[in-house]
Amino acid sequence: MNIEPLRSSLLPSYTPATQTQSEPSAIEHARPKRASAVVDLETKKAATTLIRAGDAALSSLHSAAMMDEVMIKPTSKSLPVQSSVISDFPPVSTFGRAWAQLTHAIQSEPFASFASKHKIDTSTLKINTQSGWVIDCIANNKRASFNKYDEGYEQATAAVTAAARAFNSPPKSSVLYTGANRAETDVIGNFYGARQDGTQANALRLITEQQHHLTFDSLREPDSKAPEFNPATYSRIREQQREAIDDFAGEIALKPELRSPSQRTPKPSVEDADREMARMYSGALLSRRPEMASYGKGARTGFSFSEIPEYSTLGQHLRNAQVPPGKDAQISLAEISEFYAEPAPSDLTLVGTLTHASRLTRDGFRALNKDNPPTDEHLRAVQAKQRAAIQRLENPGATEVPAAPTQTPTAAVNPVAAIARRQFAGEPNLYSVVARLLGERIKQAAPSLDVDVNQLAIETPDPDNPGNVKRTQLMALALDYLAGGEAPNFTSTDRAFDTRPDLFAHTGNDPKVPLLLDLSALSTAIGALPGLLNSAYEADSHKYWNELAFSSPTNADSVFPDSRRTLISHILRNNLQLASMKQPGLDEEQRKTVDMVVRHPEGSTRPAPLDRNSSGATVYTLGGSTPNVVIHRYLSQSNRDILLLVEPSGKITPYDSWDDVEKAGHIRVELTGNMFDTQANTLIKQHRGDSLFNPPPTFGPENPTQANTPLPDWMNNADEAQRFVLHELNQGLASFIQRNKGRAYNSGIPDIGTFAQEQFDRLPESQKLTRHHAKDLSVTFQMSYGVSADGSTAFGSNHYKNESLTDVLINNLSGLPSGTLEVSKRVKDENGREVTFRVPALEKHGALQQVITDLDIGKTYPALLKEKLLDNPEEMAERRSLFVQQVPIEIQLKALELGIKGEAGFDNTGVRYVQEIFKPGTGPRMVDGNEIVIRPLAFDNKGEGTIDVVDSAYLIERKDGQGPTVLYRPLNGNAPLLQHPNRQALLEAIQTPGELQSYIIPWFAEAKARETYSGKGTTHPNFVAFGLNFGSIPYNKTIPLAMDTRLEQTLREGKLLEHLYQANAQNLISLAEQQSTSDAESRWATLKTGGFLLLNAVLPALRGPGAVLGYVLQAGGVINDLEVLSDERSQGKEAALADLLVNLASLLAHFKIRSQPETSTAQSARPVIGRGPLVTDVPGRSLLVDDVAAPTPPSNNRIVLGGQRRSNPLPATFKSLRTPTTASHASTSWATLRNPWVDNLQKSLEKMASVTGQKILTRSCWREA
């Protein structure tokens, strides 16, 4: 029969050729002769789309076939000699149409009769593509050749040779024809210019190119004009593609019925777009292999939003979100994997990666493979999302059913609950335990057998169809037995088969060959399951919950290196902490009671009350299986029992008396251990992870407008563990501010700039020579280049330096620059023009210098610090307490920021060192089994018999001095933390002239030490005698760093922060005592450079290490003037600020999906519903990373965390929003943004505006801004 190129042929019946083979010039490439037809633009466009889509689809098959060839001999440099064969390639493609014409010529007369006469197997033809003078084949079951000397050859092969010329690809001069629907991989590759040279490296290059371009390299769009992209072979195939498009357009213009119904009215195909997405995903996976990365643009970690296929399920989901991402928003591979429920490859070798990529390229995402319908609910949910996307395209005007209204809960919503949900979703279950037990039994019986128990099928006689057999998955048989079915009893006639689709590529085994397994032993193993399940489940569950909570390239180096069980405990603590700040209806004493438990979870370490007749906070567990607890505290002065029922979600229910508690059916059992650990263990034992979540509150209007809310780039680079810790610290900072009513340890102490201005303004006008305020004045210095050494002669060009008067007052120790000066004030006239007024009285010789000398900020400011920080014992105790609470949060935030950015040498190990040192409590500090200590930076000057200590500098490192060391300089605002690989590296950094050396030398405690180490003294100590410094002596050996132990006991006793408070204060006050010396000048300079960061009156959330939240404020364009929050005269500011911080901390957690999908023993056996941040509880209903529900009817089965039920996720939920945003655009974005957490933020800002009396950008004026 004829094999035609389309559903019915438009090729004319063959007419015997009159030309002979001696007239090759008369034989052209066999293009079909068609009647003249008018081709409209729509038809041409449809033909173009279909041909190009066919070429792209064939490229997928070609790439997958090359992957299979590489996997046959993965360790070899060469590919198998025999090329693989691709079947069922797209007929509507450039190659498919050319191959169809060749098939038509072979199966038509006169070649059909010639082949029949000579008994030629037409699927073995090797045809010369240039002259056509010879054809090699199998004839009469033997190898044979036919040429022009055989009778009738030229006439019979003329049309075949003409059609074969389409496959002419020099230096290849022949094409192997293997059948109508089959072609060798090499033949297809040569046709499209993707020529293989037989080496593995070349094959990997071709795979990389095609996976990157999603088509053959010769057909990539748009066509580049660069010569390297336009070789002759590319021009040939591009011309053939244009011819194929023209011919196909003409054919369908004549006979529109040639196209299938879907092709006649082409619509966007969600299925095709999802297959394209799968291929892109597979290409990105391949790019992570070093063998492939070198051929592309390096390893890919994701795609920008604009790259995601528009009509894919993911593309539709993002574009129909209430707040779609910007075009440059990055969608990570992990997020794509989570969305499509595609498991990450467990085998990261070249073979494992190729196996995974080959399946994705051929079949698409596993959940959407209709040939192998998924049985798991999570995978079915992906199919439901695809159906929803298809329906959305078919009915774009359809409105979705509005969600039922929900009640606003009393407890706050915890934005990190998705992390907890994922932990519970991945825990062991019946399926995973059975799979493990059977897998271990098979491994014992056949250690060398490579088999996946999930893909193992048993072939048994089919009782419903006598004489036939059926295959049943082994796991289905085992689970059926455990559900009450009959125990399987395999016989010698039964057989086991590995049903993995990639079996041959994975193992080299033929899938049709049964496995050598003792099936009777397998029957016995299934029969023994009931007696093993309980203990096996307990073991798997214990192992799972004690595994590390977060995945990272090096798990032990995560900034949250604790177990899943500990993570749940932390989330429970976060829930309660958030509720204590946000839940309405609680009074101050009730919030204090909760805070006591949050800050001191261990009952044994909870501080006793100052009032002996009162009681501290005590926690009671309740009878039965509930994870709820009751917190009790008695206040003697008011004779009041505070009783609070606490749920895992954080919800707090107050009771008036024990009688009320007992009436509610609760029984008291005092808990002395960690409250949150106990709750976590109860939740884990009862599988009640859903009790961590509350129904979402309702916020904002029903149809919010769209906007983007970008975060700083460094936050977007944080992995999930870093993100979680960042959220914890920010929430802790908010709790600190609320607990202390906005008071920090440095409250009431002006920063040095404000102090200098106030001192100047208080001077009488006769002394300061002006009526203007310091903040309004500036000083311009005119200096000449080339001033002589004595300052008497200046030459060269002039240089102007402008400083505020405030800075001039602070820079008093070093005096004023040489040259003339101008003092001026700038104001605006009635027309808004800037006018400058000179202040000549201060410009007179020596006048300004006299004012600076009178004020003497270098002496009076340290004196103020002494008064405020040390002189008053009661005030000092209060400030020290605040310091102990505040500084650990700030310094950990700074360490985490540096670790995420990779700055100051920091990595996760350095972050963990800082975390461990500054955590509360007593006892040794341990990281990875090593004790971590903090010690003064000191030099072991054995020659002098002294330990030379550097004030205000500490080393955080292992007790044995090995490994990395962190230099902590609490009074250095620019770089308080620096990490070095080891102590020697730190010493070399100190020896190198620069900022670090300049800081260290002045801060030596002893004057003689400063003389010894100045200049090059850190490398070769200076010779100091009779009070004179004779300079560095090359023969003097370098003085090493000391192993100072004086702080170790302080650390163990939990008194480190108290020591630092005292030491920092003393170091600052020493400036006043030593300001006349040169080293005091240098100390002063280091503090000026840092801006007295730790003694700045702006609250900690908006400066220094705590500035992470300030970044968000600035990034969103919300606050233009941070001084709104530094005005100590504003009443009620602390409540507004705490509220602001809580909402920003919540917002942070909603802007980031984790960087790596969590793996677990359960997931490796079987995908489990709820795995990862994308959870579906009913078909068509999806929750994204931040668990904000998509618009659907409410579920009866699950409580959803996040915003209102109609809220879609914020765009930045997908890893990073890197779209540049100008200030004006930022204001517009925030003006139009509607989201629960942003709405809360807006309310916080409006509240702050009302209590500060200062202008803040509120929603009403954001548009104007």
pLDDT tens per residue across span 479-502: 888 888 888 999 888 999 988 777
Phi and psi, residue 1107, nearest 5°: -75, 0
pLDDT band at 425 (very low <50, low <70, confident <90, very high): confident
Query: CA 153 → CA 29, 161, 168, 204, distances in Å?
Result: 19, 11, 21, 42
Instruction: Give residue 1241's pLDDT.
Output: 47
Q: What percent of the chain has pLDDT over 70?
A: 71
Tell which wins on pLDDT, 981 or 733.
981
Nearest residue to 1020 (alpha-carbon basis) of 1002, 1042, 1035: 1035
Contacts of 78 (CB under 8 A, 6+ apart): 198, 199, 200
Rounded Cα distance, 575 and 583, in Å: 11
915 pLDDT more than 90: yes
Q: 270-287 vs 200-213: helix axis angle to the nearest 10?
A: 140
Contacts of 54 (CB under 8 A, 6+ apart): 90, 91, 92, 93, 94, 96
Q: To 5 degrees, how large is the angle CA 1054–CA 1056–CA 1062?
A: 135
Rounded Cα distance, 196 and 205, in Å: 10
Do the Cβ atoms of 1161 and 540 come closer than 8 Å?
Answer: yes
Query: What single string gives the DSSP state of each residue in 1035-1073?
Result: TSPPPPBP---TTHHHHHTT-HHHHHHHHHHHHHHHHHH
Phi and psi, residue 396, nearest 5°: -65, -25
Helix (H, G, I), strand (E, B) or coil at 667: coil
Chain-centroid distance, C-alpha 274: 23
pLDDT digits (tens, 9 = 90+) for 199-239: 888 888 888 888 888 888 888 765 555 555 667 678 888 88
What is the average pLDDT across 1173-1197?
30
Do the Cβ atoms of 1156 and 720 come closer than 8 Å?
Answer: yes
* The two three-digit tokens of residue 463, written as one number: 């009782």
Half-sphere exposure of 591 (CA within 13 A, CB side): 17
Q: To 5 degrees, how large is the angle CA 1072–CA 1077–CA 1081?
A: 75
C-alpha Rg value of the chain to the nearest Å: 39
Instruction: Give residue 1234's pLDDT.
Output: 40
Sign of CA pseudo-dihedral 128, 129, 132, 135: positive
In 483-587, alpha helices (H): 503-507, 519-527, 529-545, 564-582
Lowest mean pLDDT among 525-539, 551-565, 918-932: 551-565
Q: What mean pLDDT value characterizes the chain?
A: 75
Lowest mean pLDDT among 337-351, 807-821, 942-956, 1050-1064: 807-821
Instruction: Give residue 788's pLDDT.
Output: 43
Instruction: Give residue 1093's pLDDT.
Output: 38
394 pLDDT more than 50: yes
H or E element that contains 1244: helix 1236-1252
Nearest residue to 653 (alpha-carbon basis) of 675, 678, 628, 677: 628
What is the average pLDDT across 1089-1117?
38
Instruction: Give residue 449's pLDDT.
Output: 86
What is the average pLDDT across 322-327?
56
Helix (H, G, I), strand (E, B) or coil at 244: helix
112 pLDDT more than 60: yes
Nearest residue to 80 (alpha-carbon basis) of 185, 171, 177: 185
1240 pLDDT more than 80: no
What is the average pLDDT across 251-275?
73
Instruction: Give residue 983's pLDDT.
Output: 95
170 pLDDT more than 50: yes
Place of tokens 């040498």: 905
Amino acid making up residue 922: T
Chain-centroid distance, C-alpha 84: 40
Rounded Cα distance, 839 and 973, in Å: 34
1109 pLDDT more than 50: no
Q: 873-901 vs 908-917: helix axis angle to the nearest 10?
A: 160
Nearest residue to 208 (alpha-carbon basis) of 292, 152, 274, 294: 292
Instruction: Give residue 761's pLDDT.
Output: 94
Amino acid making up residue 616: G
Instruction: Give residue 680's pLDDT.
Output: 94
pLDDT digits (tens, 9 = 90+) for 1186-1208: 232 233 333 333 222 223 333 33
Instruction: Give residue 547's pLDDT.
Output: 92
In this prediction the pTM is 0.59
Instruction: Give residue 697's pLDDT.
Output: 39
Instruction: Give residue 511's pLDDT.
Output: 78
pLDDT digits (tens, 9 = 90+) for 558-584: 899 999 999 999 999 999 999 998 888
138 pLDDT more than 80: yes
Query: What single string gives the DSSP state of each residue in 809-851?
Result: HHTTTT-PPSSEEEEEEEEE-TTS-EEEEE-GGGGSTTHHHHH
Sign of CA pseudo-dihedral 341, 270, 211, 372: positive
754 pLDDT more than 60: yes
pLDDT digits (tens, 9 = 90+) for 431-490: 889 999 999 999 988 888 888 888 889 999 988 888 888 888 898 899 888 888 888 999
Do the Cβ atoms of 963 and 557 come closer than 8 Å?
Answer: no
Amino acid making up residue 101: Q
Helix (H, G, I), strand (E, B) or coil at 65: helix
Place of tokens 């159906």: 387
Place of tokens 């900020």: 857
Instruction: Give residue 1243's pLDDT.
Output: 53
Phi and psi, residue 488, nearest 5°: -65, 140
pLDDT digits (tens, 9 = 90+) for 959-1001: 999 999 999 999 887 889 999 999 999 999 999 999 899 889 8
Do the Cβ atoms of 360 and 281 come closer than 8 Å?
Answer: yes
Contacts of 101 (CB under 8 A, 6+ apart): 5, 11, 30, 32, 163, 166
Instruction: Give residue 884's pLDDT.
Output: 93
Instruction: Give residue 374's pLDDT.
Output: 63
Instruction: Give residue 201's pLDDT.
Output: 80
What is the average pLDDT across 690-696?
66
Query: CA 1228 → CA 321, 713, 1249, 1265, distances in Å?
Result: 19, 20, 20, 7
Contacts of 1196 (CB under 8 A, 6+ apart): none
H or E element that contains 53: helix 41-72
Instruction: Give residue 146's pLDDT.
Output: 92
Do the Cβ atoms of 1251 and 1131 come closer than 8 Å?
Answer: yes
Tell which wins on pLDDT, 1154 or 956.
956
* The two three-digit tokens of residue 228, written as one number: 């390297």
Query: CA 1182 → CA 323, 780, 1166, 1175, 1214, distances in Å?
Result: 16, 63, 20, 6, 15
Verify cis geometry, omega within 30 degrees of 0, for the bond prior to 222: yes
Verify cis geometry, omega within 30 degrees of 0, for the bond prior to 171: yes
Name beta bridge partners: 1164.
none
Query: CA 584 → CA 310, 652, 738, distances in Å?
Result: 44, 10, 14
Query: CA 264 → CA 41, 43, 45, 258, 773, distances in Å?
Result: 14, 9, 12, 9, 80
Rounded Cα distance, 895 and 907, in Å: 9
Tell which wins on pLDDT, 799 or 1162.
799
In 856-872, alpha helices (H): 857-866
Rounded Cα distance, 1232 and 706, in Å: 7
Lowest mean pLDDT among 703-712, 801-810, 1035-1044, 1143-1152: 703-712
Instruction: Give residue 654's pLDDT.
Output: 93
Instruction: Give residue 1247's pLDDT.
Output: 52
362 pLDDT more than 50: yes
Do the Cβ atoms of 742 and 1134 come closer than 8 Å?
Answer: yes
Helix (H, G, I), strand (E, B) or coil at 67: helix
Instruction: Give residue 136's pLDDT.
Output: 92
Length, in residues, of the chain: 1265
What is the average pLDDT across 139-154?
90
Helix (H, G, I), strand (E, B) or coil at 583: coil
Nearest residue to 952 (alpha-carbon basis) of 1068, 1077, 1052: 1068
> How is residue 648 annotated by DSSP?
T
pLDDT band at 1070 (very low <50, low <70, confident <90, very high): confident
H or E element that contains 31: none
